[in-house]
Amino acid sequence: MNGSNSQVTRSSLIYDETRRCLFLDGHELSRGENIEINVFGSWIPGQVAVDAAGWYLVTLDQVGIRLQSGLPARSGEFRLFQQSSLSLLQKRTEHPEILLVDDDPALLEALQRMIALRLSSVHVETTNSSLEAVSYLQKRRFDAVVSDIKMPDMDGLELLARTQELQPETPTLLITGHGEHNLAIQALRGGAYDYIQKPIERDNFIAALLRAIQTCQLRRQVQKQQQDLAFYAHSLEQVVQQRTNELSEAHLVKDKVIGLVSHEMQDPITRLKDIIHLLQQKLGGSMHVPEIVNQSFAEIEQSIHRTEELLHELLTTSHLETQKFILHRQPCDLVALCQQIFSDAFSDVELTITQQDLTNPVEVEVDESQLRQVFFMLFNNTREMANAGQVVTITLQRTAREAIITMRDTGTRTNFGADFFISRKIVERHGGHLEIQYFPHEKRTVFISLPLLLSKALAENEAKISSSPKVHTVWTIKLH
């Protein structure tokens, strides 16, 4: 709003029931006057209009708002002409179609002439028969239907029902006689957009017809947008399905290639191992074999062993991304499992237990072979990269719902690759987590968390168990 509008004194509408007049600041309002009303804290401009139901405000976008006593209002300094409404209508469609139905030829001709004078862009189809009107509705689409409520062959209420059946988005305006309030209420309850009371007041009729046409066009616009949205959603679903199929085919091709390459590489690796074994047998008793030959054999064997590990990791990684990777879980005591794995992995080093809680077992449900592979990967990496005399501390903690294994070492150089990725995926498939934190001076801590197997008795006592980690067992390993 401009500055002059903001200075207008705020008043309220007053309705005089005796004279059936509407006042603002002591001034009697008339049709076509420009005012503003306050709705939910916002000033809405419009033009005053009146119909059989009472006074209402026609807004700039042709929405009708009923006016009543006590509604905050003020005079407006804008101009709203019917031509602006008509130009807005012409932007939406060039030739709206209107169907007039009335058994009175004089009224039918008068209404057609009235529309032609006020709404020149509107095309009007007339008929004096409701049955013929139904035939029109079956063949053509109309933006509004105007019908008398009392007709001999089919009354307006029946025509209203057929219109809603054939063209649900098309508004219907019914013409009622003076004093036929019950019929008017019945028409509105039956789904009529509005009713026009005889004698017909031209301004009210044109305003109601404009609102009906624009309502119909807005409904059709919404329907078109919904159809476009549905079509877009369907197209998007097809694209997603196509991309999913392509991705599935790519995974299948990848698995086939990996399997084929792995199979093809097994043969030359086996032949190399056989040749090295044969050469070692032939040269084993010779006193003239240089030390460099023996060292070369050892390096070749290490390379072959590493190649076999890489092939295994490649196959495992491929299976982890598909449904081929299956865990065979079974309940076990995590303390006993760790003790066995540590004993196998560090059989030639000093392994001691500095703390252990024998009263509360740490039960988990895991695939022991897969979990063993994870631990061996971590321990072997630590052992291969560790300095002599390094101390590795492994701690098993438990909370109310999970077990946490931490492995702390110092002086270890970082050298994790695909094997760590595989280990993390295996732990995640168990519902746990695997993380590594690095600290200055080449220190690091590995965290492994696994969900506990909650028995009925443990579940009942779960509230008594602290949610903060409690140390259960501590292993100390000194590497040579």
| pLDDT tens per residue across span 65-81 | 888 888 888 886 443 44
pLDDT tens readout for residues 110-119: 999 988 888 8
pLDDT of 225 > 70? The answer is yes
Dihedral (CA of 183, 188, 190, 195) sign? positive
Give the class (CATH, top level) of 84-226.
Answer: alpha beta
218 or 304: which leads in pLDDT: 218
Q: Find the mean pLDDT for residues 139-144.
A: 93
Q: What are phi and psi of 3, to 5 degrees?
A: -65, -35
Q: Compute and round to an integer the Cα radius of gyration of the chain.
A: 44
CA distance linking residue 251 with residue 243, whole number of Å: 12
Give me the chain's average pLDDT, please.
78
Q: Are strands 72-75 and 27-28 parallel, antiparallel or unpaired?
A: unpaired
In the chain, CATH 2.40.10.390 sits at 3-80
Kindly state the tokens that stand for 202: 């031209």
Please state, in angstroms and as integers, the Cα–Cα distance from residue 296 to each residue in 290, 301, 303, following that order.
10, 9, 10
Over 387-401, what HEC string results? CCCCEEEEEEEECCC
Report the range out of 125-134, 291-300, 385-394 with the highest average pLDDT. Answer: 125-134
Helix axes 202-283, 291-320, angle to 10 degrees: 150
Q: Find the mean pLDDT for residues 453-467.
A: 56
CA distance linking residue 432 with residue 247, whole number of Å: 28
Residues whose CB falls within 8 Å of the CB of residue 302, separated by 6 or more in sequence, listed in order: none
Kindly state the tokens that stand for 117: 């004078």
3-state class of 146 per DSSP? strand
In the chain, CATH 1.10.287 sits at 247-320
CATH number for the region 330-478 comes to: 3.30.565.10
Report the range out of 60-69, 165-174, 325-334 with the highest average pLDDT. Answer: 165-174
pLDDT of 446 > 60? The answer is yes
CA distance linking residue 114 with residue 96, whole number of Å: 15
pLDDT of 86 > 80? The answer is no
Quick one: what percent of the chain has pLDDT higher than 70?
A: 75
CA distance linking residue 97 with residue 169, whole number of Å: 13
Residues whose CB falls within 8 Å of the CB of residue 398, separated by 6 or more in sequence, listed in order: 360, 362, 404, 452, 469, 470, 472
Q: Find the mean pLDDT for residues 39-47.
A: 78
CATH number for the region 3-80 comes to: 2.40.10.390
Q: Find the mean pLDDT for residues 265-275.
A: 71
In the chain, CATH 3.30.565.10 sits at 330-478
8 A C-beta contact, residue 60 and residue 81: no
3-state class of 1 per DSSP? coil
8 A C-beta contact, residue 399 and residue 466: yes
Q: How confident is the model at residue 328 (pLDDT cuts 50, 70, 90)?
A: confident
Paired residues of 171 in beta bridges: none
Assigned architecture for domain 247-320? Orthogonal Bundle (1.10)
Q: Which helix (H) or strand (E) holds 352?
A: strand 350-356
